């Protein structure tokens, strides 16, 4: 009884912690785009069997259940991130607007302590964000991902306000970088990589190596765009974001008119919170 009390207390603690979500009848671990491209056999699997392991935060707890198919119907994947569902209206047209952000459980950690990628190509604090618009019987899904700059680097805290990034001199950056984007290409298709960090000062070496890696990779599926957010939009000049929008508009239009269901925009930015 004491063990049960302890376990129930642990479960309640997780379920009452902000940013953890589960659903009993909807697959929160996959985007609508991905589900639309799966087979009927995949659709017939229960939520545990078909869950994307990147976003299953209770995967370790469920490891014993996975080996017992008769119990699968009683367990549900838990994601970490953010979900909101709102009724919206534009020009009198009412539609449902949903945002689902899924944080990867691979290479997750606190800001500054966990940066870059690991040997498998997983980027620190990777998040997949899906915007779903539902109007009548139609649904549209736009997917955007973000993560730490995918090379081997660190930024360990010290007494300075902003520790200087340290890029590894020994690691095979191109190997890890390729692993990362090979996975991204399989999962999301073409990539528009937006880098928002400073292009001068202590962050400049990160922008330089990011650009170098994309060039060295020579993958036509990846388009790299560097935009010095702090320089361009300093002193509250938010209107200058139009510069960035103009840079990606043509590619966004191509994605929207291509007829493909898998529309993806890859965003990596040190200036974004990890």
What is the structure's pLDDT at 262?
A: 37
Residues 265 and 131 in one domain: yes
Which of 12, 31, 32 shows the shortest CA–CA distance to 20?
A: 12
| Cβ(236)–Cβ(162) below 8 Å | no
Q: Which of 82, 114, 129 is the last residue of a domain?
A: 82
The tokens describing 76, both together, are 């549900």
Residues 165 and 257 in one domain: yes
Above 90 in pLDDT, residue 254?
Answer: no
How many domains does one find in the chain? 2
Instruction: Say if 93 falls within a structural domain.
Output: no
Domain, as residue range, for 191: 106-274
Residues 7 and 132 in one domain: no
Summarised one tens digit per residue, pLDDT across range 138-155 is 999 999 999 999 999 999
Residues 208 and 262 in one domain: yes
What is the structure's pLDDT at 258?
A: 53
Q: Which residues pair with 50 in a beta bridge?
A: none
Summarised one tens digit per residue, pLDDT across range 221-245 is 899 999 999 999 999 999 999 999 9
Instruction: Say if 97 falls within a structural domain.
Output: no
Which of 200, 194, 204 shows the shortest CA–CA distance to 147?
A: 194
Instruction: State the chain's mean pLDDT as an integer.
Output: 89
Residues 128 and 37 in one domain: no
Exposure letters 42-64 (e unless 16+ CB within 10 A, then b):
eeeeebbebbbebbbbbbeebee
What is the structure's pLDDT at 161?
A: 80
What is the structure's pLDDT at 69?
A: 87
| Residue recorded with tokens 């300093």 | 234
What is the structure's pLDDT at 257?
A: 59
| Cβ(230)–Cβ(241) below 8 Å | no
Instruction: Say if 254 falls within a structural domain.
Output: yes
Q: Which of 49, 82, 115 is the last residue of a domain?
A: 82
Instruction: Say if 134 falls within a structural domain.
Output: yes
Q: Which of 82, 117, 134 is the last residue of a domain?
A: 82
Residues 129 and 174 in one domain: yes
What is the structure's pLDDT at 139?
A: 92
pTM: 0.85
Residues 35 and 140 in one domain: no
Above 90 in pLDDT, residue 260?
Answer: no
Instruction: Say if 101 falls within a structural domain.
Output: no
Q: What is the mean pLDDT of residues 93-99?
A: 95
| Cβ(117)–Cβ(151) below 8 Å | yes
Distance from C-alpha of 48 to C-alpha of 37, rounded to nearest angstrom: 19
Residues 74 and 144 in one domain: no
Q: What is the mean pLDDT of residues 182-204?
A: 92
Q: In sequence order, what are the residues at sequence separation of 6 or more whose Cβ sits closer than 8 angstroms to the Cβ of residue 205? A: 165, 167
Which of 179, 54, 182, 188 shows the shortest CA–CA distance to 130?
A: 188
Residues 234 and 152 in one domain: yes
Residues 115 and 213 in one domain: yes
Of 38-42, 45-49, 176-180, 248-252, minimum mean pLDDT range:
248-252
């Amino acid at each position: 009884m004491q063990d049960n009390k302890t376990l129930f207390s642990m479960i309640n603690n997780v379920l009452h912690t902000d940013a953890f979500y589960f659903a009993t009848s909807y697959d929160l671990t996959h985007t609508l785009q991905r589900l639309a491209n799966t087979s009927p056999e995949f659709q017939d699997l229960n939520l545990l069997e078909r869950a994307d392991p990147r976003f299953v935060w209770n995967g370790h707890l469920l490891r014993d259940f996975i080996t017992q198919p008769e119990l699968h119907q009683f367990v549900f994947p838990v994601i970490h991130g953010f979900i909101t569902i709102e009724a919206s209206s534009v020009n009198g047209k009412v539609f449902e607007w949903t945002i689902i952000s899924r944080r990867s459980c691979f290479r997750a950690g606190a800001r500054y302590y966990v940066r870059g990628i690991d040997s498998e190509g997983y980027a620190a604090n990777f998040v997949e964000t899906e915007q779903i618009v539902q109007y009548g019987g139609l649904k549209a899904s736009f997917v955007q991902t973000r993560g730490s700059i995918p090379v081997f680097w660190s930024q360990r805290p010290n007494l300075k306000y902003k520790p200087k990034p340290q890029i590894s001199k020994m690691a095979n950056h191109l190997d890890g970088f390729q692993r990362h984007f090979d996975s991204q290409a399989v999962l999301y298709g073409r990539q528009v990589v937006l880098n928002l960090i400073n292009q001068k000062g202590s962050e400049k070496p990160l922008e330089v190596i990011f650009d170098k890696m994309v060039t060295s990779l020579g993958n036509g599926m990846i388009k790299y765009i560097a935009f010095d957010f702090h320089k361009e939009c300093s002193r509250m000049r938010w209107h200058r974001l139009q510069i960035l929008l103009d840079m990606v508009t043509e590619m966004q239009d191509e994605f929207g008119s291509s007829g493909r269901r898998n529309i993806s925009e890859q965003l990596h930015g040190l200036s974004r919170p990890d």
